[in-house]
Amino acid sequence: MPQADRNRPTHRLTRRTYSLTSRRGPTWPTLVLGTIAAAGFALVTSRDNSKKADALCAPPMSERDIREQLAKARIALDHEVATRLVMEQQASESLAEIHRMRTDLTFLKRQRDKSN
């Protein structure tokens, strides 16, 4: 065989050893793994559904608990309103300061340009 023929891809393919393999995979382990996965999914789903049912069937809250939650919500709302007012005041003060600084900057730039 000439030297050029040994470097051809078809020559390399014919020098390999081949063996027969089954076309079907193992069925028993696949079946067991599928069954375990399905059981795990069913367990998680049933747990979620039971939590939802418990929440729907829970006894109603007492009036005292409702009033406590309402009082906490009102306090939180008052705190948020006060915080928002302070933040808006600080923002307006910052904007006024920025406006004053820009005015001073333009004045100083004009003075510098006149002196040059």
* pLDDT per residue as tens digits for the range 45-83: 888 888 877 777 777 788 999 999 999 999 999 999 999
Q: What's the DSSP call for residue 61?
A: P
What is the reported pLDDT for 97?
95
The counts of H helices and E strands in the chain are: 4, 0
Q: Answer for the pair 5, 11: CB distance below 8 angstroms, yes or no.
A: yes
pTM across the whole model = 0.41
Residues in the chain: 116
The arithmetic mean of pLDDT across residues 2-16, rounded, is 61
Of 76 and 8, more confident: 76
Q: Residue 28 pLDDT > 80, yes or no? A: no
Calculate Rg over the CA atoms of the chain.
Answer: 40
- At which residue do the structure tokens 């747990």 appear? 47
What is the reported pLDDT for 35?
79
Q: What's the DSSP call for residue 48?
A: H
